[in-house]
């Protein structure tokens, strides 16, 4: 091989290596963006009261795939075992969303409209069975 060919092979090898490394880092950046998004979603869902789904998302975001699979399996077992656990999870979510709605004027208007729809004055049974407000 002539010195020119050796130089050309070295330059082409360096360029190919640089291209491969750059492609790898672009893929890695996309993966990291997905993980960051999963962590942000987990944070938002946690604030709303969910517990199980954010745990799965956090496991994904840190790259703990075996832990993520275990948590998914546990979540499936829990959901298939009965509705009590599912209802407990969603009751917490409901409480937090309701609290958030009551903090804003638009949320209070929205809830008042929903209550007005739920309790019709022309249906006396609904009014009789309406829950009473608890004394604070």
Domain boundaries, the chain: 32-123
pLDDT of residue 55: 93
pTM of the model: 0.56
pLDDT of residue 130: 59
Please identify every stretch of the chain with a pLDDT value under 70, giving residue numbers as ranges. Answer: 120-136
pLDDT of residue 9: 86
Which residues are CB-neighbours of 35 under 8 A, at least 6 positions away? 60, 61, 62, 63
Q: Tens of pLDDT along 33-55?
A: 999 999 999 999 888 778 888 99
Sign of torsion, CA 41 42 44 50?
Answer: positive
Which residues are CB-neighbours of 92 under 8 A, at least 6 positions away? 49, 50, 51
Q: Tens of pLDDT along 121-136?
A: 666 666 556 566 555 4
């Amino acid at each position: 091989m002539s010195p020119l060919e050796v130089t050309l092979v070295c330059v082409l090898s360096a360029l190919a290596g640089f291209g491969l490394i750059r492609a790898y880092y672009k893929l890695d950046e996309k993966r990291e963006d997905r993980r960051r998004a999963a962590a942000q979603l987990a944070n938002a869902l946690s604030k709303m009261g969910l517990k199980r789904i954010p745990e799965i998302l956090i496991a994904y975001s840190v790259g703990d795939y075996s832990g993520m699979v275990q948590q998914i399996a546990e979540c499936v077992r829990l959901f298939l075992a009965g509705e009590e656990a599912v209802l407990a999870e969603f009751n917490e979510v409901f409480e937090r969303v309701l609290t958030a709605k009551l903090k804003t004027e638009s949320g209070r208007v929205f809830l008042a409209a929903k209550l007005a729809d739920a309790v019709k004055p022309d249906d006396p049974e609904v009014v009789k069975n309406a829950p009473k407000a608890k004394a604070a």
